[in-house]
Amino acid sequence: MSNEQTVGIASDTLLTFLLSPDSYPHHPRQVELIQTHTAYILRATPYVYKVKKPVNFGFLDFTTLEQRHYACMREVELNRRLCPDLYLGVIPIGLQAGQLTFDSDDSDTQIVEYALKMHELPAQDFLKQRLLRNAVGSAELRRIAARLQAFYQNQSPSAAIAECGRIDQLRRVTDENFAQTRDYLGLTISPPTFAAIQHYTNFFYAQHTPLFATRITEGRIVDGHGDLHLEHIHLTDDTICIYDCIEFNDRYRYVDVANDVAFLAMDLDYNQRSDLAREFVLLMADALNDRTLLRLMDFYKCWRAYVRGKVESLRGSEPEVPDQERQSSHERARRYFRLALQYAISGSAPTALIIMGGVGSGKSTLAAQLAAELRWPLLSSDRLRKERAGLAVNQRSDVATRAQLYTPAAKEQTYAVLIEQVEQRAQAGESVLVDATFSRRYDRERLRQRLAGVRMACYFIEAQASAATVRQRLQAREDNDQATSGSDARLEDYETLHQTYEPPTELSPSQLIQVSTELPLAETVTTILTSLATQRVLTSSPCADTRSLF
């Protein structure tokens, strides 16, 4: 094809061509379209074609044909490192006598686009599909770890690659991620979640400057994959193919090995296989003889989950995406952002957040909002007490019933069952929120001891309000026919309950967060989340038992 002159082509015209089986030299029975935010992917058995979209997201620029051609060539070259037989080459799409055609040798053909041509891989052997049918275990993880170990250790990173491990270079990428997601505040990511993750990221940089420097001197910054998740790993009994690495921006691929490893670990977490994520991380740490990799794992998992949230947000915002697919993309984005938040405030291990406080302090409202933010299960002492008595949660108790519900023995039993439920969540590897007064030091200590036994992190969040505000809230309850919070406490009970409340003075600042519920709720939630993120960074300090974090 001697004529390299290029002309523009409308996307709908191109798609019509790509979706027609007659357009392809091998005439497939049908063509299936899959869209990402950067490409059209056409499944035309036994091949797959990929055409890059003329888009510019700042971190990626495919707006000119020359840029798309270069990106196609780079994709073939880079992916042959880990999957040498998949890519068949870059195929020109030309315009000849007003008709689009693949790979014409006619000198009058004008090139209008380029397509990557690949072998089609059997769908059932992608790691995501294997996971769904429970066909991923230790043997498969060891094979993946061995391939990646060889890939990383056979490199001799240049100074330019190593420079990408510097904090100023890392911050450039994370700052871009935050800037590129601001438009999605309130749509796929809430302002409190955004603020907490940004705080966690920047505070981690500040607290771990020497660690990042050590990673550079140890040669841990490599020309990696950059997009290492379940759908980019294909595994049969005889072969392993890891493909579709980042080709459009070298600094997204020049990463710490911990960053690459974290992507796959995060994706396993996202797909409810945290057991496999933990095993894979430990396998890679051992294979690479890299103990400090573990200290960076939650940081990079948070990074990777945030990037996936960004990508799904972008994908769901494209005008040509159907409404149902748009909604699905945005829901996936919300899930990824929540996962990023979890890494920022509690890491990879299960955590209990105890929302405590005196009567009328606003703890139940606060607990409900945190549950909505985190999507963690919420256990409530008020709900438990009513359910055990066979009462509806919103049913107001009469005087005689209240007397029975709140005897010392009944309170003791309620808290015993509540603590047992929290412990069960910990044993199942689940994080949990608890809404309960915890007015006695004895109950707080009992909970802490039980959770220490199952290695579950525990933070207390004490809701506080002035006496005047509390009285107003209790009066409002009196005026309401239903006990909407589940609590039966009334204005007449205030003085007695206030006097018997034991402030949590035994808890250290690292165990207790105290907040005013008289401020706007979103502001209070932001304060809690950023405080938890601070504690999370501090507990990943060099003196921490790192393996226990996984």
Residues 6+ apart with CB under 8 A from 80: 86, 87
126 and 234 in contact (C-beta within 8 Å)? Answer: yes
CB-based burial label for 508 (10 Å; 0-12, 13-18, 19+) = exposed
Q: Determine the Cα–Cα distance for residues 59 and 63; give it in Å rounded to an integer.
A: 12
Q: Determine the Cα–Cα distance for residues 176 and 218; give it in Å rounded to an integer.
A: 27
Comparing 17-21, 406-410, 491-495, which segment has the lowest mean pLDDT? 491-495
3-class DSSP assignment, residue 212: helix
Q: How far are the Cα atoms of 133, 357, 467, 519 from residue 516, in angstroms, in the given order?
A: 48, 11, 12, 6
Check residue 263 and give its pLDDT: 97
3-class DSSP assignment, residue 2: coil
Name the pairing type of β-strands 378-380 and 432-435: parallel
Q: Tens of pLDDT along 382-421?
A: 888 888 777 766 666 655 556 566 677 888 899 999 999 9
Q: Tens of pLDDT along 201-248?
A: 999 999 999 999 999 999 999 999 999 999 999 999 999 999 999 999
Beta strands in 249-347 (DSSP E): 254-256
Check residue 275 and give its pLDDT: 95
Q: Which of 272, 276, 271 is nearest to 136 (CA)?
A: 276
Helix H or strand E encompassing 92: strand 87-96
Residue 28 has pLDDT above 80, yes or no: yes
Residues 6+ apart with CB under 8 A from 355: 363, 364, 366, 367, 370, 433, 434, 435, 436, 461, 463
254 and 222 in contact (C-beta within 8 Å)? Answer: yes
Check residue 313 and give its pLDDT: 95
Sign for the pseudo-dihedral over CA of 528, 530, 536, 538: negative
pLDDT band at 532 (very low <50, low <70, confident <90, very high): very high
3-class DSSP assignment, residue 61: strand
Phi-psi region of 33 (alpha: psi -120 to 50; beta: other; left: phi over 0): beta
Residue 178 has pLDDT above 90, yes or no: yes
Q: What angle do CA 264, 152, 207 make, to 5 degrees?
A: 65
Phi-psi region of 429 (alpha: psi -120 to 50; beta: other; left: phi over 0): left
Q: Determine the Cα–Cα distance for residues 68 and 114; give it in Å rounded to an integer.
A: 7
Residue 489 has pLDDT above 80, yes or no: no
Residue 25 has pLDDT above 60, yes or no: yes
Q: How far are the Cα atoms of 65, 114, 178, 332, 420 from residue 329, in angstroms, in the given order?
A: 28, 27, 19, 5, 38
Higher pLDDT pick, 173 / 550: 173
Residue 546 has pLDDT above 60, yes or no: no
Check residue 6 and give its pLDDT: 41
Q: Determine the Cα–Cα distance for residues 464 and 514; give it in Å rounded to an integer.
A: 7
Q: Determine the Cα–Cα distance for residues 303 and 541; give it in Å rounded to an integer.
A: 18
Q: Name the DSSP letter for residue 1.
A: -
Q: Determine the Cα–Cα distance for residues 360 and 487; give it in Å rounded to an integer.
A: 9
Comparing 5-14, 131-140, 170-179, 268-277, which segment has the lowest mean pLDDT? 5-14
Taking residues 119-143, report their average pLDDT. Answer: 96
Q: Determine the Cα–Cα distance for residues 78 and 348; give it in Å rounded to an integer.
A: 32
Check residue 541 and give its pLDDT: 47
Residues 6+ apart with CB under 8 A from 132: none
- The mean predicted confidence, pLDDT, of the chain is 90
Q: Tens of pLDDT along 442-484?
A: 999 999 999 999 889 999 999 999 989 988 888 877 766 555 5
Domain 125-346 sits in CATH at 3.90.1200
Beta bridge partners of 361: none
Q: Determine the Cα–Cα distance for residues 353 and 368; give it in Å rounded to an integer.
A: 12
pTM of this structure: 0.88
Q: Chain centroid to CA 130: how far?
A: 21
Kindly give the residue spans of alpha helices, DSSP state H, lying in 182-208: 191-207
Beta strands in 194-313 (DSSP E): 221-223, 233-235, 240-242, 254-256
Burial track 470-497 (b if 16+ CB lie within 10 A, e otherwise): beebbeebeeeeebebbbbbbbebbeeb
Please state which of the four CATH numbers 3.20.20.80, 2.30.110.10, 3.30.1490.120, 3.40.50.300 is assigned to the domain occupying 351-518. 3.40.50.300
Helix H or strand E encompassing 462: strand 457-464
Q: Determine the Cα–Cα distance for residues 381 and 291; give it in Å rounded to an integer.
A: 42
Taking residues 159-177, report their average pLDDT. Answer: 96
Q: Tens of pLDDT along 321-334?
A: 788 889 999 999 99
Q: Tens of pLDDT along 251-296?
A: 899 999 999 999 999 999 999 999 999 999 999 999 999 989 999 9
Residue 522 has pLDDT above 70, yes or no: yes
Residue 550 has pLDDT above 70, yes or no: no
Check residue 276 and give its pLDDT: 97
| Domain limits, the chain | 11-120, 125-346, 351-518
Higher pLDDT pick, 262 / 545: 262
Higher pLDDT pick, 305 / 402: 305
Q: Which of 428, 429, 422 is nearest to 458 (CA)?
A: 422
